[in-house]
Structure 1
Amino acid sequence: MEITPPRLMERRVNSISAGASHTVALLSGDVVCSWGRGEDGQLGHGDADERYSPTIIRSLEDCEITSITCGADHTIARSDGRTTVYSWGWGDFGRLGHGNSSDLFIPQPIKGLQGIEIRQIACGDSHCLAVTVDGDVKSWGRNQNGQLGLGHTEDCLIPCTIQAFQGISVKMIAAGAEHTAAVSENGKLYGWGWGRYGNLGLGDRKDRLVPGEVASIPGEHMNLVACGWRHTIAVSDSGMLYTFGWSKYGQLGHGDHEDHLVPHHVAYLKSHRIVQVSGGWRHTMALDDQGNLHGWGWNKFGQVGVGNNLDQNSPQLVKFPNDEKISYVSCGWRHTVAISTKYNVFSWGRGTSGQLGHGDTLDKNAPTMIDSLSADGEACRNVESSIPVGDAAVANWISPSERYAVVPDETVRTLVSRLHETASVGSHQVLRPLEGSRGDASVPDTEPKRIRTE
Structure 2
Amino acid sequence: MKLKKVVLFISCMFFSLLVKADTDALILTSKSVIGIASETFLVDTGITVENGDVWVWGFRNSGQQGNGISHDGEYKTPARVAFFANKGLSITQLAAGIYHIIALDEKGNVWGWGQNGYHEVSGNGNGGAYPSLPILVLENENVVMIRTGEYTSYALTKSGDVYTWGHGIYGQMANGEKKAVNDLYKIPREYFNNRPVVLIGGGYESGYAINDAGEVFGWGDDEDSAFGFDHADHIYQTRPIQITNLPSGVSGKDIVYIAGGDRFTVFLTSSGDVYGMGEGSYLGMGLPYGQRVTIPRRIIGNIKMISCRYVGCVAIDKDKGLWTWGATKGSAFPQIYGNTATRRTYNGNLAKFDMGKEHVIYWNDEGQAYGVGYGAGSKFSPVSNANVHWPGKELDFVVNAMKGVYGPDYIPGQGQ
With normalisation by structure 1, the TM-score equals: 0.71
Aligned match of 1:228: 261
Q: Given residue 355 of structure 2, which amino acid in structure 1 is its aligned partner?
A: C
> How far apart are residue 383 of structure 1 and its match?
5.4
Paired residues, number = 360
Aligned match of 1:198: 225
Q: Is the 8 A contact 2:48 2:354 kept in 1?
A: no
Q: Given residue 146 of structure 1, which amino acid in structure 2 is its aligned partner?
A: G
Secondary structure at 2:378 match in 1: coil
Aligned match of 1:433: none
Q: Given residue 182 of structure 1, which amino acid in structure 2 is its aligned partner?
A: A
Q: Given residue 69 of structure 1, which amino acid in structure 2 is its aligned partner?
A: A
Residue of 353, 366, 369 corresponding to 1:345: 369
Q: Given residue 218 of structure 2, which amino acid in structure 1 is its aligned partner?
A: G
Q: Is the 8 A contact 1:181 1:189 kept in 2?
A: yes
Counterparts of 2:263 and 2:292, CA distance in 1: 11
Change (3 A) 1:331 1:259: farther
Runs of 4+ in 1 over 6 A off after TM superposition: 8-14
Counterparts of 1:245 and 1:340, CA distance in 2: 33
> How far apart are residue 9 of structure 1 and its match?
7.7
Aligned match of 2:305: 276
Matched, 1:256 2:287: yes
Q: Is the 8 A contact 1:60 1:107 kept in 2?
A: no
Kindly provide the CA deviation profile for residues 164-206 of structure 1, in whole angstroms up to 9, marking residues without a partner as x. 1363232222222321222334433321111122122334453
Aligned match of 1:217: 247
Aligned match of 1:138: 163
Matches within 5 A, 1:30-69: 30-45=52-67, 46-48=69-71, 49-51=73-75, 53-61=77-85, 62-69=88-95
Q: Is the 8 A contact 2:109 2:140 kept in 1?
A: yes
CA RMSD between the two structures: 2.9
Q: Given residue 174 of structure 1, which amino acid in structure 2 is its aligned partner?
A: G
Q: Which moved more, 1:100-109 or 1:53-62?
A: 100-109
Q: Which runs of 5+ in 2 are unaligned?
A: 6-30, 407-416
> How far apart are residue 42 of structure 1 and its match?
2.3
Change (3 A) 1:85 1:357: farther
Q: Given residue 67 of structure 1, which amino acid in structure 2 is its aligned partner?
A: Q
Secondary structure at 2:341 match in 1: strand
Counterparts of 2:135 and 2:180, CA distance in 1: 20
Q: Given residue 272 of structure 2, which amino acid in structure 1 is its aligned partner?
A: G
Aligned match of 2:130: 104
> How far apart are residue 263 of structure 1 and its match?
4.2
Aligned match of 1:291: 320
Q: Given residue 105 of structure 2, which amino acid in structure 1 is its aligned partner?
A: S
Secondary structure at 1:382 match in 2: helix
Aligned match of 2:199: 172
Kindly provide the CA deviation profile for residues 311-352 of structure 1, in whole angstroms up to 9, marking residues without a partner as x. 621011011124x2x354443222112234555433211112
Counterparts of 1:289 and 1:260, CA distance in 2: 29
Aligned match of 1:189: 216
Q: Which runs of 5+ in 1 are unaligned?
A: 1-5, 306-310, 385-454
With normalisation by structure 2, the TM-score equals: 0.77
> How far apart are residue 120 of structure 1 and its match?
0.6
Q: Is the 8 A contact 1:129 1:140 kept in 2?
A: yes
Change (3 A) 1:263 1:235: farther
Counterparts of 2:132 and 2:185, CA distance in 1: 24
Counterparts of 1:119 and 1:353, CA distance in 2: 31
Structure with the larger helix share = 2
Kindly provide the CA deviation profile for residues 376-397 of structure 1, in whole angstroms up to 9, marking residues without a partner as x. xx5931259xxxxxxxxxxxxx
Change (3 A) 1:263 1:383: farther
Secondary structure at 1:380 match in 2: helix
